[in-house]
Structures are given as C-alpha cells and as structure tokens.
Amino acid sequence: MKRDSYLSELEILKSIAETLNESTELKSMLEDCLRKLLQLTSLEAGWIFLINGEGEYELAAAESLPPALSNPKHQALTQGDCWCVSRFRNGTLTKASNIMECKRLENARLGNWGDTYGLVYHATVPLKAGEEPFGLLNVAVANKETFEAHELSLLESIAYQIGTALKRIHLTMKEQDIKIAEERNRLARDLHDSVNQLLYSINVTSSAGIRLAKEMPIKEVLSDIQRMSQHAQAEMKALIWQLRPAGLAEGLACSLKKYGEMLGLEVNLSVEGISMLTSLQEETLWRIAQEAFHNTLKHSGEHKVNIVLHYKKDTVVMIVSDDGIGFQYAEETCLPSIGLKSMGERIKSMNGRMALHSKRGKGTSLKVELPI
C-alpha cells in the first residue's frame, strides 16, 4: 500500500496522528484525515460512515469517489443498507476486513449512476475507541480484490487513531456543553442579584412615592413607574428561569411546578418512579415542558395544566396536558411557528418520541418518551 518506498508505515501513522491532532471539528477532521490517508498511500478512494447507537449511519467524509458513488448527491452512500454497515450493526465486524463485492458499488453499476473507475471491492475497518464503536472507514483501489494482512493491520491502526480522536472530540463537545451551562447559570445569578434587585428597589421606592405625593399627576406618574417596574421584574424572572434550568437542582418535578406557578398556571403534578435521568435528559424535558406551559398559557384559554412524570426502567414518560380549546393538529402540518418544531428536534436529538393530541374544544395533550 506504500506509495514511496521511503515512507514507512510508521511515518504514515505519525502523519495521520498529526492531522487528527490539529482538528477540533469533527467533519473537517475526518475529511482531512481521509485526504491525508489517500495522499500517503496508494489507496484511491475512501469514505467514512458514522453510525449511532440506533444503527443509523451518516456519510461523514468521502474522498476521491468515482462518479458512481458521488452522483447524484452521494446517493449510493446515503441510501439503503450494505454488508459492512449490517455487520457493524450486528457486532460481527470487529476487525479490518475485505468486502468482496460492495453492494453499494453494485447498485450504482446496476442503476447506471456513473463510472465506477474500476472499483468493485473495498476494505472496511471499524472505528473504535476501546470498545466504544463510532462507525466505519472504507477504502478502495481499482481492480484490487483483496487487501493483504499487513495492509489491513495498518488500516486497523489508523482506524484506532481515528476512533480515539472521535472520542476526544465527543468529550470536548460535552465539556463545552458543561461550560455553556455554567456560563448561563452565572448570567442568571448576576441578573438576579443586580438588575432584578434594582427593579425591586424601583418598585418599593415608587410605592413609597405614591403614598407621599400630594398631587394627583405625580401619583399617576409614580404608579406608571411602579407598574412598569413590576412588569420588568416579571419579565426578568421569566428570563432568569429560562437561562437557568439549574433550578433543576431541586429536581425536575419540583422545578416545573414552581415555574408553572410563577407563570400563573395551576400545576397539577403526578410523579411515578424514581428519577435516574442525566442532566441533559432533565434539561430536555424541562425545555419541552416550558414550551408546553407557554403554549397552554398563550393558546388554550385555560390556567390549569397537568403534568405526569413516569420514570420507568428504560424510559421516562412525560405528559403535559390541558383542558383548553385545543387545535386541529396533524403531524404532517408544516407549522410556521418554532415552538413545537424545536420540541420535536430536541426529542429527536435524544432518540426519543413525541405524540401530540389535540382537537378543537377537547384540550391538548403532549406525550414525550425518552430512552434512559
């Protein structure tokens, strides 16, 4: 697989390690690494699939693909299943292997999607960090049927390096999330201690002014100031709550009840089981319930909201419902608003499910289920 005789396998590994080390962004890291790999070796084409815990794959990088695989819009690599992805999913792909006939290349040939540049076979290597699997590295050379054992072994070493780099990026992303949460908490605390207290002082001072003032127009001006400061205080409180799901320290159920009551809702809460949620899962449910509360307040015509939290062994179920005016909801409706849409996106990102039931005059019920 060596292009230049002086370029030892060690040098290839060193160069790949340097490329991986330079990046902090996942996609560009994989693209750079794949490009480097093809430059340093006689490999002619390569692509990387990232595969999540649900077995869903995503084409994360591709380099020097023949038209058959890259046209139209990488169709051959983004649709359907193949041997390597199936073997990865069922856990039988543990080492670098030869894929004797690539189903995707075969499909591309049958579908006449373009020239394959003589590619029929490829090697596939699982990307792992320790036992944690991330996806697959696939590489190919025109008319090459099988990769030798030493070639597969080099690819395996490279795949380990990529797997470790993927793990590093995942950890960095997690760390960033924690930093963002900390910063939001700090901002919430500062707003609470500074602006909120000042607004409170304006409220108290104008109230004293109203009592002391003798002339009606001055009383009225001071009343206006008081009303506005109360309004600003209420807005500030809501903003602080939005910033700080750290209220979650008191537990999701308790925080939700308090938040709803702060909005002026009567919250009927029922909890079953014991919470074993991660902070990310808690925050997801918190944000969804927040939006559902606001929707009840804005649209339902009701001031009562029911919330059920059911912690089961593998899942948590949250139901937020009201007996308000309801609306005609169809899943395929494309809503111009962002509230329900971003709820859906949050749930999807946590591999959860959401069901919204509503009918005019029959209230609204939102059911969310997240795997634990």
Ligand X SMILES: Nc1ncnc2c1ncn2[C@@H]1O[C@H](COP(=O)(O)OP(=O)(O)OP(=O)(O)O)[C@@H](O)[C@H]1O
Give the interface with ligand X as residue ranges (CB under 6 A).
295-296, 298-300, 322, 324-327, 335, 337-340, 364
Tell me phi and psi for residue 133, to 5 degrees. Answer: -90, 145
Which CB sits closer to Mg ion, 219 or 299? Answer: 299
Q: What angle do CA 25, 27, 29 make, to 5 degrees?
A: 65
Is there binding between residue 339 and Mg ion (CB under 5 A)?
yes
Minimal distance, residue 277 CB to Mg ion, in Å: 24
The residue length of the chain stands at: 372
Stretch that binds Mg ion, among 104-112, 220-228, 294-302, 303-311 (CB under 5 A): 294-302
Minimal distance, residue 309 CB to ligand X, in Å: 18
DSSP state of 297: I
Write the Ramachandran bin of 82: left for phi over 0, alpha for psi from -120 to 50, otherwise beta: beta
Minimal distance, residue 234 CB to ligand X, in Å: 18
Q: How far is 352 from 370, CA to CA, in rounded Å?
A: 4
Q: Contact, 331 vs 312, CB < 8 A? A: no
Q: Out of ligand X, Mg ion, none, which partner does residue 114 contact, by CB within 5 to 8 A per kind?
A: none
Which CB sits closer to ligand X, 15 or 268? Answer: 268
Q: Which two tokens stand for residue 349?
A: 């990102």
What is the enclosing helix (H) or strand (E) of 224? helix 216-243
Q: Out of ligand X, Mg ion, none, which partner does residue 326 contact, by CB within 5 to 8 A per kind?
A: ligand X
Residues in binding contact with Mg ion, number by CB under 5 A:
2
Minimal distance, residue 336 CB to ligand X, in Å: 8
Task: Name the closest residue to Mg ion (Cβ).
Answer: 339
Q: Which two tokens stand for residue 111?
A: 């579908």
Q: Out of ligand X, Mg ion, none, which partner does residue 338 contact, by CB within 5 to 8 A per kind?
A: ligand X
Minimal distance, residue 348 CB to ligand X, in Å: 15
Q: Out of ligand X, Mg ion, none, which partner does residue 198 contact, by CB within 5 to 8 A per kind?
A: none
Q: How far is 362 from 326, CA to CA, in rounded Å?
A: 6
Residues with Cβ within 8 Å of residue 2, at least 6 apart in sequence: 8, 9, 12, 41, 42
Minimal distance, residue 342 CB to Mg ion, in Å: 9
Q: Which of 19, 138, 196, 295 binds Mg ion (CB under 5 A)?
A: 295
Q: Out of Mg ion, ligand X, none, which partner does residue 296 contact, by CB within 5 to 8 A per kind?
A: ligand X
Minimal distance, residue 295 CB to Mg ion, in Å: 4
Task: Name the closest residue to ligand X (Cβ).
Answer: 339
Contact residues: Mg ion, CB under 5 A = 295, 339
